[in-house]
Structures are given as structure tokens and as C-alpha cells.
Amino acid sequence: MVYYRCDICGKELPKKSLRYIVKIDLYAAYDTLEITKEDLKKDCLTEIRELLEKMKDMDPRKLEEDVFMNFKYDLCKQCKDKYAQNPLDITIRV
């Protein structure tokens, strides 16, 4: 009985066979905010209102994906070895 399949080559991974899991968290990095005197003088409420206004018409799922996405894949040993050599797959570089 097949429990898993390799997400790269499609090979069946029956129960108790060697299986690897790749988890990828892709999220927006926010550097520590430094608050200046100028920031304190700003009208934050107006800025927040403007931001909310801009977000109003945006797709909530798209907004969430802009901030955080995660992926999980099952791999066979061969694909895991190949994947580990180049996790960022340079072929996607423009």
C-alpha cells in the first residue's frame, strides 16, 4: 500500500521506506524598527487609515501570501540527495 509519493519524481514511498520531508517557510523579514523623533511627530492614524484604505480592495489571500507562505514536500532518497545539492535551484534565476 502506498502511503506517500515523492513530490519530485513521483516514485511510490511505501510505509517504512526511507522518506525525507522538505519544509520551506517563506516570509517577509522585518528588520527591527527604530523609532525616531520624527516618527513620533507623524500622524500615525492618518497613515493607518490610508493603509487600510489601500488594503480594502486587495485579495486577503494574496495579502497573506505576501507576508507568509509555507511548503511541505515528501522526497525519496535520490531526490533528497539531488535537492540538497542545490536547494535554491539556480535555474529559476532571471
The footprint of Zn ion (CB under 5 A) covers: 6, 8-9, 11, 76, 79
User: To the nearest whole angstrom, how small is the minimum distance from the Cβ of residue 88 to Zn ion?
Assistant: 19
With respect to Zn ion, which residue has the nearer C-beta, 57 or 82? 82
User: To the nearest whole angstrom, how small is the minimum distance from the Cβ of residue 78 to Zn ion?
Assistant: 6
Q: Give first-to-last CA distance, the chain, whole Å.
A: 42
With respect to Zn ion, which residue has the nearer C-beta, 9 or 26? 9
With respect to Zn ion, which residue has the nearer C-beta, 8 or 22? 8
Exposed/middle/buried for 70, CB within 10 Å: 0-12, 13-18, 19+?
A: exposed
With respect to Zn ion, which residue has the nearer C-beta, 11 or 22? 11
User: To the nearest whole angstrom, how small is the minimum distance from the Cβ of residue 19 to Zn ion?
Assistant: 10
Cα(36)–Cα(12) distance, integer angstroms: 57
User: To the nearest whole angstrom, how small is the minimum distance from the Cβ of residue 70 to Zn ion?
Assistant: 21
Task: Choose among 21, 24, 19, 2: nearest CA to 77.
Answer: 19
Q: Are 75 and 8 in contact (CB under 8 A)?
A: yes
